[in-house]
Structure 1
Amino acid sequence: MMYDVIVIGSGPAGLSAAVNVRQRGGSVLVIGTAQDSNPLYKAERIDNYLGLPGLSGKEMLEVFTEHAKKMGVEFVQNRVLSAMNMGKTWMVGAGSEVYEAYALVLGGGIVRGQAYPGEKEHLGRGVSYCATCDGMLYKGKKTAVIVYGDADKKEADFLSGIGCEVTLLDKPKSVAIEDAETGVLLTADGEQYEVSCVFILRPSIAPNDLFPELALDGNFIRVDRSMKTNIDGLWAAGDCTGAPLQVSKAVGEGLIAGQAAMAYAVKQKA
């Protein structure tokens, strides 16, 4: 299905952007991972969000998500692996599915953690970011799965279900990947595993990996007053654009980005 706007990220900025697309009559898809992977989810109490004092991060995300659903926002729980500008539209790959829209909004927050040593060098030949996409290539073979939340363990279960021998590693502190005779040699927290493939299931991929031409200011995405990036058809909002890393700021930027992205989509369709 074609959407007016696809929002990457289901935190406050992404949900605000999506609600404001719907407020202007547009169709919008939010693609994000499980809410418990959002740092806000773990906040015990938030007192500086106007009108909703005293909520936990989990409760606030539930309120925001329910609002978006009532507005008609569509959701897909998955991690975005690729995005390609096709001229007038964008194609976005999430898991094994591809979605299309006229405009994109990045609202995925900060990507915490750098690529592991050897990760990028072995991507596509011993490293994958999607077990359900690439798992059949390693049917019956030894694999390792690095997970960051309980929802990721479903992908490990999928690999077990197709006959893979799976080593599950939950948020290891140190990881390195090297060549091996067959596959790759994974070193995680001092233990070594020779496997055919390492599946790394981070909640999200760094924005400048998804969009190599994306302009940054340090570790943050450079945007103008309309939250537009240097790439045509792409907006960003929330923690990914810089401090202060606050819910109020994320929601406000999401509003601006959603409205601007929808206006752009209307022009693209004309």
Structure 2
Amino acid sequence: MVEISEDTLYDCIIVGGGPAGLTAGLYAARAKMNTLLFEKGTIGGQIAITDLVENYPGFPEGISGKELSLRFKEQAERFGLKVVKGEVVKVEKSGREVILHLRNGQILRTKTLIVASGSNPRKLGVPGESEFLNRGVSYCATCDGALFEGSPIAVIGGGDSATQEALFLTRFGSVVYLIHRRDQLRAQKHLQEKVFSNPKIKFIPNNVVEEIKGSDFVERLILKNTKTGDLSELPVEGVFIFIGLEPNTGFLRDILKLDERGYILTDEKMRTNLEGVFAAGDCRSGSTGQVAVAVGEGCIAAMEAEKYIEYNF
């Protein structure tokens, strides 16, 4: 277990254990900076629940998101990164130091802060969504797909994540309905080709979910045609929602400049409006949502944090 001290002035504290945060931790620790990384959930973030990562350089056959995340962590820890389970709920500035308040009441001091807090799945916001969470509604195919062996499944969304997860869910579902509000998918062409060539996937375009219904568990969806306004029912037992992400930046709203969607504004060197505070990965405005880019941003943030300490402490 990693010991943390309220009496220590850390060189760098990182919030978030996804690819950006772990890469920042690798570079900071390798530079002999006394570095802590806080992750409140699963190491790897969104990538950890991705079945197969096919576009990260160095893995021609692809690699599971979970395995890639663990490799990131092991490499960073080998250089001395200390990974801690915990949540930062408030950030303040006191002179040149950054003050972090943890959920457990502890208060820590650091010379630099790198925010790599990532993002969470966006909700549909329809009746039945929250009521049937973990009773048929899910945001993670690799976590829950096996629960729907031989059952009809709906996937909501039209981007890369939705198509990737729909393909994964064909391992379990009797049929996978891919429901999208437009008449064409937004996913990369090679993913679309895989979807349309898979006989277990049925594409339902120009439809949105109006309501998720059932008794103890999900039983059906109420769909609305976006062109005609007509309502229809679709019997399903599993509903997997992949309609985008929202940044985990609520704890920073009073101190950092955010864009209109809540993403952190930075310059090209990952510097925020607050000296000594940097941001990288999916929480940053302009993020591409790609692992390779997040890794690069984490690297830049750590190198800039090292420079900041050199000139200010």
291, 298, 301: which one pairs with 1:247? 291
Q: What SS is found at the alignment partner of 2:119?
A: coil
Residues 239 and 262 (structure 1 numbering): CA distance in 2 closer, same or farther, change over 3 Å?
A: same
Q: What SS is found at the alignment partner of 1:252?
A: helix
How far residue 72 of structure 1 moved from its aligned partner, in angstroms, is 0.1
**Where in structure 1 do 4 or more consecutive aligned residues deviate above 6 Å?**
none
Residues 37 and 261 (structure 1 numbering): CA distance in 2 closer, same or farther, change over 3 Å?
A: closer
In the alignment, which residue of structure 2 is the partner of 1:80?
Answer: 88
Aligned residues: percent identity? 31
82, 94, 106: which one pairs with 2:115? 106
Q: What SS is found at the alignment partner of 2:100?
A: strand
**Residues 12 and 61 of structure 1 are in contact (CA less than 8 Å); yes or no, is this contact kept in structure 2?**
yes
- 1:26 maps to 2:33: yes
248, 255, 276: which one pairs with 1:213? 255
Residues 67 and 83 (structure 1 numbering): CA distance in 2 closer, same or farther, change over 3 Å?
A: same
TM-score (norm 1): 0.62
How far residue 34 of structure 1 moved from its aligned partner, in angstroms, is 3.0
In the alignment, which residue of structure 2 is the partner of 1:70?
Answer: 78
How far residue 37 of structure 1 moved from its aligned partner, in angstroms, is 8.1
The whole-number CA distance in structure 2 between the counterparts of 1:18 and 1:262 is 12
The whole-number CA distance in structure 2 between the counterparts of 1:81 and 1:64 is 25
- 1:92 maps to 2:134: no
225, 228, 243: which one pairs with 2:268? 225
The whole-number CA distance in structure 2 between the counterparts of 1:245 and 1:237 is 11
**Deviations for 1:113-157, whole angstroms, at most 9, x for unmatched residues?**
59x9xxxxxxxxxxxxxxxxxxxxxxxxxxxxxxx99xxxxxxxx
Residues 29 and 36 (structure 1 numbering): CA distance in 2 closer, same or farther, change over 3 Å?
A: closer
Aligned length: 184
- Give the letter for the 1:216 counterpart: L
**Deviations for 1:20-75, whole angstroms, at most 9, x for unmatched residues?**
11222211110112326822111111111111342111111100000111010011
How far residue 86 of structure 1 moved from its aligned partner, in angstroms, is 1.0
The whole-number CA distance in structure 1 between the counterparts of 2:114 and 2:269 is 12
Residues 246 and 217 (structure 1 numbering): CA distance in 2 closer, same or farther, change over 3 Å?
A: same
Deviates more, 1:69-78 or 1:215-224: 215-224
The within-5 A match list for 1:130-169 is none
How far residue 237 of structure 1 moved from its aligned partner, in angstroms, is 0.3
**Residues 119 and 247 of structure 2 are in contact (CA less than 8 Å); yes or no, is this contact kept in structure 1?**
no
The whole-number CA distance in structure 1 between the counterparts of 2:311 and 2:96 is 10
* Structure 2 unaligned regions, length at least 5: 1-7, 126-138, 141-212, 214-245
- 1:51 maps to 2:58: yes
**Residues 80 and 95 of structure 1 are in contact (CA less than 8 Å); yes or no, is this contact kept in structure 2?**
yes
TM-score (norm 2): 0.54
In the alignment, which residue of structure 2 is the partner of 1:11?
Answer: 18
* Structure 1 unaligned regions, length at least 5: 117-147, 150-188, 190-203
In the alignment, which residue of structure 1 is the partner of 2:312?
Answer: 268
The whole-number CA distance in structure 1 between the counterparts of 2:44 and 2:38 is 13
